[in-house]
Chains A and B, each alone.
Chain A
């Protein structure tokens, strides 16, 4: 079974702090994704990576950056956390195919005070 893990289930940070969210997958998937999920807004793609050191902006990349130094690990960075970044953050991975089924991690509930 594919396993996608995220470094924290719950995280509380203060405005202005630099925040790192880590995601690791164990299935050698090329593609990895970061989403945020908010009530009424659904899943919104922040960034996508299709290979080591490669990244593409999603729908809402402002205020975020990402890092993919190893195939299995994809990090989301909030350079200076703000209260409007309080959200559920979900990481996913997939292998390039005709179906692109995504496998999600358990999520990190981030609260920025």
Chain B
């Protein structure tokens, strides 16, 4: 079955720097990959989607890349702010029929002022 790996260790960075989070997957070739943000005690919120035929996607300070050869997506937040502190989850379309997503375990980002 497909496996998704995100760094389980928290990422600590200084305000103003670029945060880069990694999502690796195995045993599957997804048609697209999504990134969500989750604040403590809240449900995840959709941020960005990138399709398999897209190399890069941007939205304001966010940038996502998708390398189907490396089976990896990178999620960048430029000019990071303390308000960006949250857990970020990647999700892939399921390897079964239907409309299910498979989520990674998430990486916690801490941006220090």
Contacts and interface: CB of A to CB of B under 8 A. Distances in A.
A40 B91 CA distance: 16
A50 B99 contact: yes
A107 B41 contact: yes
Q: Which of B32, B46, B91, B93 gathers the greatest number of chain A CB atoms within 10 Å? A: B46
A104 B89 CA distance: 13
Contact of A92 (B43, B93, B106): B43
Interface range, B side: 20 to 34
Contact of B93 (A40, A100, A105, A106): A100
A48 interface: yes
Contacts of A90: 43-44
B101 interface: yes
Contact of B105 (A4, A40, A50, A105): A40
Nearest to B96: A56
Given A40-B8, A92-B43, A107-B43, A56 B103 contact: no
Interface string B55-95: 00000000000000000000000000000000001010100
Interface in A11-63: 31, 33, 40-43, 45, 48, 50, 56, 58
A107 B41 CA distance: 7
B101 A42 contact: no
A101 B8 contact: no
Contacts of B49: 99, 101
A100 B99 contact: yes
B101 A104 contact: no
A104 B105 contact: no
Given A41-B105, A42-B105, A101 B100 contact: no
A50 B41 contact: no
Interface in B12-45: 31-32, 34, 41-45
A107 B44 CA distance: 9
Given A48-B100, A104-B45, A105-B43, 7 more contacts: A42-B104, A98-B31, A99-B32, A100-B101, A102-B46, A103-B46, A106-B43
Interface of B: 8, 31-32, 34, 41-46, 49, 89, 91, 93, 98-101, 103-106
